[in-house]
Amino acid sequence: MEFKTIVISGAHGNLGKSVVEYFLLKGWNVIGLVHRQSTDSHSSSNYFEIEVDLMDENQVQIAVEKIVKKYSSIDVLVHTVGGFAMGSFLDTPMQKIRQQMELNFTTAYHLSRAVAHQMVKQSKGNIFLIGAASAQYPLHSKGIAAYALSKTLVSQLAHLIQLEIHQNNIFAHVVMPTIIDTLQNRKDMPNADFSTWQSPILIAQTIERFINVNQIEILVS
């Protein structure tokens, strides 16, 4: 079997950890990007971890160079880093907007741009960004103004990447789940109906299914 390389940001996070575990079980070489390395990281010989601040463009570039030096190419990028914030338009100051933009959009922009440069050189690749259903359906954005606005930009970023470099055999996607079933989300929304939420494993399976498929917007179902 030809081992493929997948870069997963937020590898210690609720979603990222599940995506890492899923692709390790599938036999991929997995590169986990983390804000801070941990002794509890995966022990698989197929796992390689890099500590990087995704808000620092220079650090991101150095991390990508390390990956290419070790594996020669990057087949898939899955960017799971992000944050969530409650708050209506009237209750959301600009500071919260900036925070959500930094977490959700700036990190996605830095990482996808650095990886895209490498994918153009190798003439192949897949970039998966995590958006939100609220970014596609504005009626779902009520009460989450900063989050929805930032995820809308993430969605537009995927479209821009696809528009500019699809001719290089590069596929850009934005995965748009509703609410991901994580411990943090259950804590933040204890009265919600968890049965309607989407599991991180389902999202990992969806990503695998759409590798090399020319479809930008992916609703998880």
Asked if 207 and 15 count as a contact pair (C-beta separation under 8 A), the reply is no
Is the pLDDT at 74 greater than 60? The verdict is: yes
Q: Give the residue-averaged pLDDT of 126-131.
A: 96
- Distance (Å, whole) CA 111 – CA 130: 13
Full set of structural domains in the chain with CATH: 5-219 (3.40.50.720)
Cα-Cα-Cα-Cα dihedral of 173, 78, 202, 88, to 10°?
A: -70
Report the 10 Å Cβ neighbour count for 147.
Answer: 25
User: pLDDT averaged over the chain?
Assistant: 90
Two tokens, residue 113: 């741009």
Two tokens, residue 49: 């971890």
Whose tokens are 């809308």? That residue is: 152
Whose tokens are 């390689």? That residue is: 48
Model pLDDT for residues 151-200, shown as the tens digit of each residue: 999 999 999 999 999 999 999 999 998 777 676 777 777 777 777 777 88
Taking the CA atoms of 60, 165, 7 and 150 in sequence, report the sign of the dihedral they define.
positive
Model pLDDT for residues 93-106, shown as the tens digit of each residue: 999 999 999 999 99
Q: Nearest Cα to 76, choosing from 12, 8, 159?
A: 8
| Cβ neighbours for 77, distance < 8 A, ≥ 6 positions apart | 6, 7, 9, 111, 112, 115, 125, 126, 127, 128
Is the pLDDT at 44 greater than 50? The verdict is: yes
Q: What percent of the chain stands above pLDDT 90? A: 71
Question: What per-residue confidence (pLDDT) applies to 1?
Answer: 42
Maximum CA pair distance of the chain?
A: 55
Asked if 176 and 220 count as a contact pair (C-beta separation under 8 A), the reply is yes
